[in-house]
C-alpha cells in the first residue's frame, strides 16, 4: 500500500472511531451520573444514596429512607484534554445533565424515573496523521469533527421483600445521536432509539454489611442511517451490557464500599459493520471486556456534613495492537481519583459536589507503518453539582 493510501486509511479509521469514544472513563461508560456517585468513585451498587440508583441498581429505591418522594438534580461538567499523534482537540468542555425522582407508594413498593446523559461529547481535531512531509494532504488539512450524544430514560420500580432484601428493575430507553465529518466524507446528524433493562438486588447480611448485585443488559440500538451523496450508509452502535457486585460496610458514621464490575465490550466493540452502497465493511476496533474496581469511603463529619473519596480503576479495553483502528476513540483512561462532599442545607434539601481526576494515560501502537507510529493520549477533569429534595 502506498504512503498516501496509508494516510487515507488512518484518516478513515479515525473518523469512524471518534464518535464511539464519548465519555472515555471506563471505556465509553461514565462512573456515575450524580455528584454522590462520582464522589464514591462509582462504588454505589450496594449502598446507593440518591434516586439516580435507578441507573446503577434500581433496588436502591427501596433503601433511600423515602417518606414520600425524593428529587435529585445533578449537572456535570467534563474537561477531557486528548491528543492523537500530538494533535490536540479544540473541544474540551462538555455538559452532562442528569435528574431522577423516586416515590414511595407504600412500605413495600417504590417507583422512580430518571433521565441522564451517559455518553456524548465530540472532538475537533485539526489533524490526526503524524507530521510527515511525504504524506499528502499536508498537515493542517486533515480535520476531523464529530458529535455523539447518548441519553437514557429509565422508569423503575423496587420492592422491599423484607427488612433484609430489596429487588428492583428499570426499563432503559436509549436515545443516541451521531454525526461525523472529515476531508474524505461527511455523515450528517442521525438519531436512533434503543431498549434494554437493569435488574438489581440489595441484601443486608447484618446491621453493618450489605451486598448489592446489578445487571445492565445490552441496549439494542436501531441502526443509524446516514444519507450521503453516494447513497445510504448504515451502522449499528449498541451499548455493552455489564454485571456488577458490591459490598458495603456502615458503622459509626462511616460508609465503605468496594465494587467490581464486568463490561462486555467485546460483544459490541470488537467489530462493527459499516454498510455502504459498495458493500459491508467490518471495522475491527478490537475492544476487550473490561473489569472495573471501585472503592468509595464516606464519613459523617458533623450532623450536616459528609465527606467522601473514591478510587476507580479499569485496564483500557484498547491494547497496543488495536491503536491503529482506534485513533480517535481515546477511550483509555484507567485510574480515577474522586473527592466529594454533601451539606444538609435544610430539613429537606441537601447540596453535593464532587471532583474527579482521571490520570493521564498514553497508548502507542505496536505497529509501525510508513505513515508513522500512532499515539493516543487522554486525561480528564470532571465536576458534578447536585441538589436533592426529600420528604
pLDDT one-digit tens code per residue, 297-333: 999 999 999 999 999 999 999 999 998 887 767 889 9
Contact 50, 40 (CB under 8 A): no
In the numeric block, the cell 436512533 is attached to 192
Which parts of the chain fold into alpha helices (H)?
A: 3-21, 35-39, 265-268
Range in 25-29, 211-215, 256-260 the model is least confident about: 25-29
Domains of the chain: 3-390 (2.40.160.60)
Q: Looking at residue 390, what is its pLDDT?
A: 94
Omega cis (within 30) before 137? yes
pLDDT exceeds 50 at position 16: no
Partnered with residue 123 across adjacent β-strands are 146
pLDDT exceeds 80 at position 11: no
- Mean pLDDT score of the chain: 88
d(CA 142, CA 19): 17
Q: H-helix or E-strand containing 222?
A: none
pLDDT band at 85 (very low <50, low <70, confident <90, very high): confident
Partnered with residue 390 across adjacent β-strands are 70
d(CA 269, CA 239): 9
Q: Higher model confidence: residue 19 or residue 275?
A: 275
Q: Looking at residue 18, what is its pLDDT?
A: 43
Q: Looking at residue 9, what is its pLDDT?
A: 43
pLDDT exceeds 90 at position 142: no
d(CA 348, CA 3): 65
pLDDT exceeds 60 at position 17: no
pLDDT exceeds 60 at position 278: yes
pLDDT exceeds 60 at position 112: yes
Q: Residue 38's Cα: distance from chain center in Å?
A: 12
Q: Looking at residue 135, what is its pLDDT?
A: 54
The C-alpha cell at 131 is: 507530521
Q: Looking at residue 93, what is its pLDDT?
A: 84
Strands (E), 69-185: 69-73, 76-79, 82-84, 87-88, 94-96, 98-104, 109-119, 122-125, 144-160, 165-181
d(CA 105, CA 69): 9
Maximum pairwise Cα distance, the chain: 72
Q: Looking at residue 378, what is its pLDDT?
A: 92
pLDDT exceeds 80 at position 120: no
What mean pLDDT comes out for the span 149-170? 96
Q: Residue 56's Cα: distance from chain center in Å?
A: 12
pLDDT exceeds 50 at position 295: yes
Contact 361, 179 (CB under 8 A): no
Q: H-helix or E-strand containing 295?
A: strand 290-300
Of 23, 35, 55, 81, the C-alpha closest to 310 is: 35
93 half-sphere exposure, CB direction, 13 A CA radius: 2
Of 122, 72, 113, the C-alpha closest to 93 is: 122
pLDDT exceeds 60 at position 8: no
Phi-psi region of 205 (alpha: psi -120 to 50; beta: other; left: phi over 0): alpha
Contact 17, 328 (CB under 8 A): yes
What mean pLDDT comes out for the span 209-225? 95
What mean pLDDT comes out for the span 27-56? 97
- Which residues are CB-neighbours of 76 under 8 A, at least 6 positions away? 33, 35, 38, 95, 96, 97, 98, 382, 383, 384, 385
- Residues constituting the chain: 391
In this structure, how many other beta carbons lie within 10 angstroms of the beta carbon of residue 221?
22
Q: Looking at residue 329, what is its pLDDT?
A: 75
pLDDT band at 116 (very low <50, low <70, confident <90, very high): very high
Share of the chain above pLDDT 90, in %: 63
- Which residues are CB-neighbours of 54 under 8 A, at least 6 positions away? 61, 100, 102, 112, 113, 114, 154, 156, 170, 198
pLDDT exceeds 50 at position 20: no
pLDDT exceeds 70 at position 211: yes
pLDDT band at 21 (very low <50, low <70, confident <90, very high): very low
Amino acid at each position: 500500500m502506498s504512503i498516501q493510501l496509508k494516510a487515507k486509511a488512518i484518516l478513515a479509521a479515525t473518523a469512524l472511531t471518534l464518535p464511539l469514544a464519548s465519555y472515555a472513563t471506563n471505556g465509553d461508560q461514565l462512573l456515575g451520573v450524580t455528584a454522590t456517585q462520582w464522589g464514591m468513585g462509582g462504588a454505589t451498587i450496594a449502598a446507593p444514596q440518591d434516586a439516580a440508583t435507578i441507573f446503577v441498581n434500581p433496588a436502591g429505591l427501596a433503601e433511600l429512607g423515602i417518606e414520600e418522594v425524593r428529587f435529585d438534580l445533578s449537572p456535570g461538567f467534563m474537561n477531557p484534554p486528548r491528543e492523537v499523534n500530538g494533535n490536540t482537540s479544540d473541544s474540551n468542555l462538555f455538559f452532562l445533565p442528569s435528574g431522577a425522582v423516586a416515590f414511595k407508594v407504600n412500605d413495600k413498593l417504590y417507583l422512580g424515573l430518571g433521565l441522564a446523559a451517559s455518553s456524548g461529547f465530540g472532538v475537533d481535531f485539526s489533524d490526526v496523521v503524524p507530521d510527515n512531509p511525504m504524506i499528502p494532504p499536508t498537515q493542517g488539512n486533515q480535520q476531523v469533527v464529530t458529535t455523539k450524544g447518548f441519553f437514557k430514560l429509565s422508569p423503575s420500580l423496587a420492592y422491599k421483600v423484607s427488612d433484609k432484601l430489596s429487588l428492583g428493575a428499570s426499563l432503559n430507553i436509549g436515545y443516541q445521536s451521531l454525526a461525523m465529518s472529515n476531508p474524505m466524507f461527511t455523515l450528517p446528524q442521525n438519531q436512533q432509539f434503543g431498549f434494554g433493562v437493569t435488574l438489581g438486588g440489595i441484601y443486608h447480611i447484618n446491621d453493618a454489611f450489605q451486598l448489592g448485585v446489578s445487571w445492565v443488559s445490552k441496549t439494542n440500538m436501531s441502526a443509524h442511517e446516514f444519507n450521503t451523496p453516494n447513497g445510504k450508509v448504515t451502522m449499528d452502535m449498541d451499548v455493552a451490557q455489564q454485571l456488577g457486585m458490591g459490598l458495603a460496610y456502615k458503622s459509626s458514621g462511616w460508609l465503605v464500599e468496594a465494587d467490581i464490575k464486568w463490561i462486555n465490550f467485546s460483544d459490541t466493540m470488537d467489530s462493527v459493520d459499516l454498510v455502504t452502497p459498495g458493500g459491508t465493511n467490518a471495522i475491527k476496533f478490537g475492544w476487550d471486556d473490561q473489569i472495573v474496581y471501585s472503592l468509595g469511603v464516606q464519613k459523617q463529619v458533623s450532623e450536616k456534613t459528609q465527606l467522601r473519596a473514591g478510587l476507580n480503576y479499569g485496564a483500557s479495553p484498547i491494547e497496543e495492537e488495536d491503536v491503529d483502528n482506534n485513533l480517535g476513540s481515546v477511550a483509555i483512561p484507567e485510574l480515577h481519583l474522586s473527592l466529594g462532599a454533601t451539606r444538609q442545607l435544610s430539613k429537606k434539601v441537601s447540596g453535593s459536589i464532587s471532583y474527579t481526576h482521571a490520570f493521564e494515560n498514553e497508548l502507542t501502537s505496536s505497529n509501525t507503518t510508513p505513515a508513522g507510529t500512532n499515539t493516543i493520549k487522554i486525561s480528564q477533569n470532571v465536576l458534578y453539582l447536585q441538589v436533592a429534595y426529600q420528604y
